Amino acid sequence: MSQASDNTGREALVQVRGLVNRFGEQVVHDGLDLDLYRGEILGVVGGSGTGKSVLLRSLVGLLQPAAGTVHFLGEDLYALYEMDRARLICRSGVLFQKGALFSSLTVLENIGVPLVEHAGLSRSQAESLAWVKLALVGLAPEAGLRYPAELSGGMVKRAALARALALDPPLLFLDEPSSGLDPIGAAAFDRLLLTLRDAFGFSVFLVTHDLDTLHAVCDRVAVLADKRVRVTGTLEEVAATPDSWVQDYFHGPRGRTAQQATQTTDEVS
């Protein structure tokens, strides 16, 4: 199936229409629409309880919605048989909160897991490629021999990103990748993500609450509210929306600080 595009010709690698997610009587999403276009970094924000992580789980096949469709790389994700769905999802990489690395495996073994399980490589072949991914995210070789508990928070995030990139996916899904990092570590991760996206051209669905990240790397922003996507657009377009939550979020003290930091960086560069 061919992938959808908008009226400007942009290709939508993920297209969500009429999505409904509920847990018992609690409705989290009701008629949610959203697109993720080729090569873009889409930042997804919203207040607590708006279902940002729930939406991500629906997009990567971990939570079947009650209604609506998710077209993923041209396929209707939840119309596929389970095996075909799993095969399609392997064409994406996911970085969960806190990294979700296997604690009993070394970093190198963690990166090699999808290469062995999904690409059918031998352990020696997977290890060779894992060294490449390790270097790609800026980790020193000795980090590959350590266990997750022996790493700093920033190193865990980079190792998890290396695992997400193991199969060279066209799509990345990142759930709060800078949470728990100090400002310097978070900024370094943002720069790494932007560099890799520019080099490899993958698309990124990025759940975040970090205003600095939104300013630094996101091409578009989607705001979740009232069980739907309230507004999407460039950060400037979204920040100009006459909505009380949006105004408080983007123009409060932290929002102004993030905007000033971005302006200063642009002037220096």
Is 4-91+169-268 CATH 3.40.50.300? yes
Residue spans per domain, the chain: 4-91+169-268
For the chain, what is the largest distance between any 2 Cα atoms, rounded to a whole number of angstroms? Answer: 56
Residue 250, helix vs strand vs coil: helix
- For 66-107, give the DSSP string: SEEEEEETTEEGGGS-HHHHHHHHTTEEEE-TT----TTS-H
CA dihedral 105, 109, 113, 116 (to 10 degrees): -130
99 alpha carbon, distance to own chain's centre: 12
Token reading at 27:
């409705």
pLDDT of residue 98: 73
DSSP 152: -
Burial class (CB in 10 A: 0-12, 13-18, 19+), 48: exposed
pLDDT of residue 180: 80
Whole-model pTM: value is 0.88
pLDDT of residue 37: 97
Task: Give the residue among 2, 159, 1 at the shortest CA–CA distance from 93.
Answer: 159
For tokens 């995030």, name the residue: 157
pLDDT in 10s for each residue of the chain, 269 residues: 455 555 567 899 999 999 999 999 999 999 999 999 999 999 999 988 899 999 999 999 999 999 999 999 999 999 999 999 999 999 999 998 777 889 999 999 999 999 998 888 899 999 999 999 999 999 999 999 999 999 998 899 999 999 999 999 999 999 998 888 888 889 999 999 999 999 999 999 999 988 999 999 999 999 999 999 999 999 999 989 888 888 888 886 654 454 554 444 454 44
